[in-house]
Amino acid sequence: MTSLFARLLCLCLLLSGPAWSQDGPQLNLQRVGISAGMHLIQAQIAATPQERTVGLMFRKEMPTNEGMLFVFEQPSTQCFWMKNTLLPLTAAFLSDDGTIVNLVDMQPQSLDSHCSVRPVRYVLEMHQGWFDKRGIKAGMRLGGAPFGR
C-alpha cells in the first residue's frame, strides 16, 4: 500500500507542471549567453507557452546584464504587453540569425501592445535603456547559440 501511495504521489508531482507559480517570478529557467558587441547578456529562456505567458511578470528586480529570451516555434509577428510586469523593459525583436529587427520601450503594468515590424522567432527583454546606453540599434546582430553563432 505504501508503494502504491508513493507512485501516486510521484505521478501527481509530475503532472502538476513546472516548479514555479503562475503568479510569481520564474527563477529556475535555463540560461544562455548572448553577445551584443563587446557586452555579454545572461538570458533566461522562455520557450514553452507557459514560460512565455509569465515572462518577467511580478519581478521587482533583475541584474543589469540579465534578460529574458522568448523563443517561438516559428517566425511570426510577435506582440508583447506588460500586464503584471513591474520593471520598465526594452524588447528587441530578433530574426533567426540574431539581427535586431526593431527595439521597443515598454512601460510597467501597461496593456499597450508592442509588436515586431516583421515576423521574428526571438524576443529579448532587457532593462529599459540597456540597448540605447550601449549604442545597440536595429540592424545590429547579436551572437550566441540560439542564433547559430
- pLDDT tens, position by position, 23-77: 456 668 999 999 999 999 999 999 999 999 999 999 999 999 999 999 999 999 9
pLDDT of residue 1: 45
Q: What's the CATH code, domain 20-147?
A: 2.60.120.1140
Average pLDDT of the chain is 86
Q: Residue 138 and residue 148: Cα distance in Å, rounded?
A: 19
Q: Break the chain down into helix, strand, coil percent, rounded to 5.
A: 20, 35, 45
- Average the pLDDT over 79-96 and give the result: 97
Is residue 20 over pLDDT 70?
Answer: no
Rounded average pLDDT over 73-99: 97
Which whole-number Å values give the CA distances from 72 to 9, 10, 119, 121, in the listed order? 33, 30, 11, 5
Beta strands 39-46; 66-76: pairing state: parallel
> Lowest-confidence range among 4-18, 69-83, 127-141?
4-18
Average pLDDT of 98-125?
97
Q: Which letter does DSSP use for residue 53 in this model?
A: H
